[in-house]
Structure 1
Amino acid sequence: MTAFTRAGLVVAGALLLAACGDSAEESGEAREFNDADVTFAQMMIPHHEQALEMAKLADGRASDAEVKELAGQIEQAQDPEIRTMKGWLKSWKQPTTADSMPGMDHGSGHGGDGMMSGTDMEELTALKGTEFDKAFAEMMIEHHNGAIDMAEDEQKNGKYADAKKMADAIVKGQSAEVEQLQGALDRLS
């Protein structure tokens, strides 16, 4: 065996060990999640996506400055969270959606998760001005309360530290937004 061949084998072996080390480290980190973390991410992604859809409706429909501001805040907070949760699921080798998610019936809406039905979304889309503002506030309060419930479940049952941190942020942020939305609703009614 020539010195060149030995050197090549040493380099190849070092690269193989480095790759194994990285993947072992990554899989160690990836194992620090549980079913509650997976369920949290899989349920929160479509929930956040619907909140974004609702927030985008405010553009051109909302007349109240506070409602417009809250819609903007919702978009800024939830879009990056969706990307983060999709990244977690990918790193955990889990699908971004679950085949069967109890309580997540997108068709009927108004489950414990706060998801709006297709009919609710159509009604909201048809409104403008103060009527839109009031309906948006009412629906987003219900929607946020559903997200808060899911985040509280993650706080109690989750294992993945970053998911628990996001759950904390959702509880704090969306609780504050619920108060603001309720204040706007009281003012508009």
Structure 2
Amino acid sequence: MKRACSLLIVPVTALTLAGCGGGGEGPGHDMNGHRMATASAPATGHNAQDVMFAQMMIPHHRQAITMAGQAAAKASSPEVKRLAGRIEHAQAPEIQKMTGWLRTWGAPTSPGDGMHMGDGMMSDKDMKKLDTLSGKAFDTAFLQMMIKHHQGAVAMARSEQARGSFPEAKAMASDIVTSQSAEITTMRKLLG
């Protein structure tokens, strides 16, 4: 009987102790053992700049994808349509990757209400205007707006390169600077 009780008590005690704080609670963790976002999280090597980069670049990319979707339906130039397709193809996976980082870091996927959403973002008025256009007028407005949009992304990416610490975010920032700078050159040529 004593042996049967001890076989039951030991696992119950171990489970109880594990539930009372052995799951990672302490510095950098909440009471449920989840890692909290901090200005610098040595376990993942990210800092506040990395968090801000992802939080601001996600809505920035989403807007570019919306604009690219409009180009697929409204642009008259095959070159503009191809460019829009490349933008969408490049930025959708980056959104998924950045969203994953923020989840891992325990950070929200947006910087919060009223916060600046990044350089180069189009206003609601700009987006509505673009939606009313088609053909050559659309092509011109799309290219002008996307140049401004890309310039904002390049500026944010350069800030990440300078102040970020998460290697994958810095690598993505480098890719953004390279690819979007090349696309700016292409768009300027298309504008003639």
TM-score, reference length from structure 2: 0.78
Sequence identity percentage = 49
Give the structure with the larger helix fraction: 1
- Among 48, 62, 68, the alignment partner of 2:61 is 48
Letter in 2 for 1:97: S
For residues 50 and 151 of structure 2, the distance between their equivalents in structure 1, rounded to whole angstroms, comes to: 19
1:171 aligns with 2:184: no
For residues 132 and 114 of structure 1, the distance between their equivalents in structure 2, rounded to whole angstroms, comes to: 18
What CA deviation, in whole Å up to 9, does each residue of 1:147-175 have, x standing for no partner? 00000000000000000000000000100
1:159 aligns with 2:165: yes
1:31: Cα distance to partner? 3.6
- The answer to whether the Cα contact below 8 Å between 1:30 and 1:92 also exists between their aligned partners in 2 is no
For residues 88 and 102 of structure 1, the distance between their equivalents in structure 2, rounded to whole angstroms, comes to: 20
- Among 55, 65, 68, the alignment partner of 2:78 is 65
CA separation of 1:157/1:146 partners in 2, compared to 1, >3 Å: closer, same or farther?
A: same
For residues 74 and 113 of structure 1, the distance between their equivalents in structure 2, rounded to whole angstroms, comes to: 17
CA RMSD of aligned residues (A): 2.5
TM-score, reference length from structure 1: 0.79
**Which secondary structure does the structure 2 equivalent of 1:58 belong to?**
helix
CA separation of 1:101/1:152 partners in 2, compared to 1, >3 Å: closer, same or farther?
A: farther
1:180 aligns with 2:191: no
- The answer to whether the Cα contact below 8 Å between 1:43 and 1:101 also exists between their aligned partners in 2 is no
Matches within 5 A, 1:102-113: 103-104=116-117, 113=119
Which runs of 5 or more residues in structure 1 are unaligned? 22-26, 105-111
For residues 137 and 48 of structure 1, the distance between their equivalents in structure 2, rounded to whole angstroms, comes to: 16
Aligned to 2:92: 79
Which runs of 5 or more residues in structure 2 are unaligned? 25-34, 36-40
- The answer to whether the Cα contact below 8 Å between 1:141 and 1:181 also exists between their aligned partners in 2 is yes
Q: Which has the larger radius of gyration?
A: 2
- The answer to whether the Cα contact below 8 Å between 1:30 and 1:91 also exists between their aligned partners in 2 is no
**Which secondary structure does the structure 1 equivalent of 2:73 belong to?**
coil
Aligned to 1:135: 141
1:103: Cα distance to partner? 3.5
Letter in 2 for 1:128: S
- The answer to whether the Cα contact below 8 Å between 2:75 and 2:138 also exists between their aligned partners in 1 is yes
Count of aligned positions? 168
For residues 177 and 52 of structure 2, the distance between their equivalents in structure 1, rounded to whole angstroms, comes to: 17
Q: Which runs of 4+ in 1 moved over 3 A?
A: 27-31, 100-103
